[in-house]
Amino acid sequence: MRYLVVMVLIALCGNQTYSQNFEVGPFIGGANYIGDVGNTTYINPNTPVFGGLVKWNRSDRHSFRFSLLYAKIEADDAKSNEGRRLQRGYSFSNTIAEASLGLEFTFWDWDLHANTYQSTPYLYTGINYYFANHYMLKNLAYTNPAANELQEAGNNWEFSLPIVMGYKQTLNNFLSAGMEIGARYTFTDNLDGSHPSEVDGDYNLYDFGNRNTSDWYVFTGIYFTFNFGRGSGCFNKY
């Protein structure tokens, strides 16, 4: 009998529970990179990032989240505050296309079915898979290092780990907004061309910088989401 009751509840609430607890919307902001070229400021958005995200709110404290983001990153030693980089004079630009899947945890309850204003800080983490380009120095000019140029050296498909902090709030019955800062730890040291050994697998004379650290990239931005499921009576509470 109890199995019959469960099946009836699923039939009555299934559409509301599984198709009406979503948020969908665009993301826009700025990106910056942290590595062996250019400025060493951790949060310094200087190039655009844009895309979209989807959230599936599984309770009032957590949701599954998927996003697709596209960004340009660039750095120039001329904008660094370190003397060695200023003298060296390297620069590069790269693009990142990222898919991210993970869990978002809210500090306070986030129930889009409530008839009251909602707002909360949150944390997000998961796993990213992204595409970028490998780079390496085109030549070595020991007498004039600034004459070196970076050139593309193949495709770089890699994983990264997102560490995201944000704040979100409802604007009306169907629209929410959020802002966040998210650092991505990568498993490559060659977004900037400083470790082309990753391409050929051997020590390379064209390597430079700190070979013991990986590159990071940071997305800072805002987003708006359209909320599905106001008034549902079958919101998940686990």
Domains of the chain with bracketed CATH: 2-227 (2.40.160.20)
- 50 has which bridge partners? 28, 70
Q: What is the model's pLDDT at position 14?
A: 44
Confidence check: pLDDT of 140 > 50? yes
Q: How many CA atoms lie within 13 A of 128 on its CB side?
A: 29
What pTM did the predictor assign? 0.83
The pLDDT of 131-145, averaged and rounded, is: 72
Per the CB < 8 A criterion, the answer to whether 204 and 190 are in contact is no
Report the C-alpha gap between 35 and 238 in whole angstroms. Answer: 41
CA distance 104 to 127: 12
Q: Is residue 77 within 8 Å of 88, Cβ to Cβ?
A: yes
At residue 51, the pLDDT reads: 98
- For residue 158, the model assigns a pLDDT of 93
Residue closest to 172 by CA, chosen among 227, 234, 229, 108? 227
What band does 145 get if pLDDT is binned at 50, 70 and 90?
low
Percent of all residues in the chain with a pLDDT value above 90, rounded to a whole number: 50
Could you tell me which residue, 203 or 228, shows the higher pLDDT?
Answer: 228
CA-only gyration radius of the chain, Å: 22
Residue located via tokens 């109890």:
2
Which tokens is 177 given? 């907004």
- pLDDT at residue 8 above 60? no
Per-residue pLDDT at 7 exceeds 80: no
Residue 49 in this model has a pLDDT that exceeds 60: yes
Token digits of residue 22: 């979503």
Contacts of 10 (CB under 8 A, 6+ apart): none
User: For residue 20, is pLDDT > 70?
Assistant: no
pLDDT higher at 184 or 154: 184
Candidates 12, 5, 91; CA nearest to 46 is: 91
What sign for the dihedral angle of Cα 188, 126, 19, 173? negative
What's the confidence (pLDDT) of residue 153? 81
Query: Which segment of 5-19, 92-106, 124-138 scores lowest on mean pLDDT?
Result: 5-19
- Count H helices and E strands in the chain, helices first: 3, 8
pLDDT band for 141, please (50, 70, 90 cuts). low
Helices of type H across 106-217:
197-200
Predicted pLDDT of residue 210: 83
pLDDT at 99 over 80: yes
What value does the mean pLDDT take over residues 117-128?
96
Residue 170 has pLDDT above 50, yes or no: yes
Spatial distance between the Cα atoms of 23 and 236, rounded to a whole number of angstroms = 15
Question: What 8-state DSSP symbol labels residue 116?
Answer: S
